[in-house]
Amino acid sequence: MNRPDAPPLAAAADNAQGALFAQSASGCAFANLPASFYTHVAPRPLTAPWLAHANPVVAQWLGLDAAALQSPEFLALCAGSGRLPGVEPLASVYSGHQFGVWAGQLGDGRAHLLGDIQGPQGRWEIQLKGSGRTPYSRMGDGWAVLRSSVREYLASQAMSGLGIPTTHALALVASADPVIRETPETAAVVTRVAPSFIRFGHFEHWARSATEQAALLDHVIAQGFQDCRVGPGDRPDRPATACQLLDEVTRRTARLMAQWQLAGFCHGVMNTDNMSILGLTLDYGPYGFMDAFQANHICNHSDTLGRYAWNAQPAVAQWNLTRLAESLMVLGCSVPDLEAALAPFESTFLQAYHAGLARKFGLSDWRPEDAGLGDAWWALLHAQRADFTLAFRRLADVDTDAQSWLDLFTDAQAAQQWLDRYRTRRAQDPHPQAGRQAAMNRVNPLYVLRNHLAQQAIEAAQQGDASGIDHLMDLLQDPFTERPDCAQYARPPAPDIPVVAVSCSS
């Protein structure tokens, strides 16, 4: 949609105290934790905001219809001047390791938790990101710029469409308020939703306080991990419960890493404070979907040592889980019990990775001898710098159009050698040939959020035109189905398109 003349929001803000969510607002469960966990602080409302986009799918999860998304009350809520009924916004404190180094106290430096909504799809926390300073801003201005906000908004849709666990974005609101980064930019706020925004860093913050750590554990168990509780609710065995939770978080995180790797997704800043206790993809900053494959691809140009390169992500996740485990020792968990809870990471990751790669190859199962085929695949893509997404997608068509797949490689002979090996393996597979192509196309996307596509949408939005965002949101909702009029969105960036550099400031 194009930017309209924005009306004053004073009256809308008053009405937004409860009009939209009068029946579904359910307080704020996080605020039931001790006061040491957060600070009540109001967002800084945007001046003359305009709704760049609202996500109708996420809105339905919250019980909102199309008319509600166009209301002044909705705009006020997402711009920072509205409130959920009976809830005072808050920012939470946490700590964490950043680039492998203990960073001490961190927190929601530019995010405000508005409260909880009980919708048709369950309970959701509503959070504004980029909505002004908090006590945890560490000298920052607390605002986000339109550039980074568009990237986060689109990324959550891209991951959701791929079936990868993620936080979700409800709305993107922009304004002409100036924000200074490397250059002058304008402000924006993303309204995002998740069952919980709790991170590994929340537990790290209370690693030396048994009382607060026990309160946090009880809260997390009650909000989504009831199966991990050991003992009765009024007298839980907290060390055993904490180890059960760690075991479950370990398995969720391992499966998430497998999905990232198989999508060619690089997070870019896998600090412990950016790791979700629910196993969701959290905090989209300098992320990227690979174009030309490089196993050691670094998407964050602030990551000078390559700590968060694509091929390092599973090991970093395991390292982060170990830091989480260490924080649970204050509850009385023994080292052997914590090590046992961490132990499933490798087997869970490999099981998910191998099963996923088998599906992407069109194989009915994964056999131990397939490890060589898989290693040769990555080596081929790396040596040839082949396009990650198209290499998988066109593999489904090699029986009818092998040349299109071979065209992705500069050394056709090397590619043909791998293809011959693949065909030999596939001939041994019981998967019905008739349905193989369709099955592969259901797991190998044609469209991903390439950086140059996001940049095009950003540049249009900076001129007040959000139609590019709207088109990408629609396309990424189903990235597997080919659309004849969207061929340009499936292509790698042309050689003359500048590489989009993303950093921690993104």
**Catalytic residue numbers, as ranges:** 273
CA distances from 335 to 72, 326, 332, 340, 487 (A): 54, 9, 9, 9, 54
Pairwise CA distance, residues 194 & 215, whole Å: 21
Strand pairing class (122-129; 111-119): antiparallel
Number of Cα atoms under 13 Å in the Cβ half of residue 205: 20
Pairwise CA distance, residues 298 & 307, whole Å: 8
Q: Count other Cβ atoms within 10 Å, centred on residue 23.
A: 10
Number of Cα atoms under 13 Å in the Cβ half of residue 222: 14
Secondary structure of residue 494 in the 3-state scheme: coil
The owner of tokens 């800084």 is: 44
Do the beta carbons of residue 82 and residue 31 sit within 8 Å?
no
Number of alpha helices (DSSP H) and beta strands (DSSP E) in the chain: 18, 12
The DSSP line for 375-434 is: HHHHHHHHHHT-BHHHHHHHHTTHHHHHHHHHTT-S-HHHHHHHHHHHHHHHHT--S-HH
The DSSP line for 66-131 is: HHHHTSHHHHHHHHTS---TT---EEE--EEEETTEEEEE---SSEEEEEEEEETTEEEEEEEESB
Number of Cα atoms under 13 Å in the Cβ half of residue 68: 19
Residue 185: phi, psi to the nearest 5? -135, -175
Q: What is the Cα gyration radius of the chain?
A: 23
Pairwise CA distance, residues 77 & 47, whole Å: 13
Do the beta carbons of residue 423 and residue 395 sit within 8 Å?
no
Do the beta carbons of residue 153 and residue 78 sit within 8 Å?
no
Contacts of 105 by beta carbon, 8 Å cutoff, 6+ apart: 93, 94, 95, 136, 205
Instruction: Label each residue of 277-339 as H, E or C.
Output: CCCCECCCCCCEECCECCCCCCCECCCCCCCCCHHHHHHHHHHHHHHHHHHHHHHCCCHHHHH
Contacts of 275 by beta carbon, 8 Å cutoff, 6+ apart: 199, 200, 201, 253, 282, 317, 320, 324
Between 238-263 and 335-342, two packed helices, what is the crossing angle to 10 degrees?
A: 30
Q: Name the DSSP letter for residue 353.
A: H
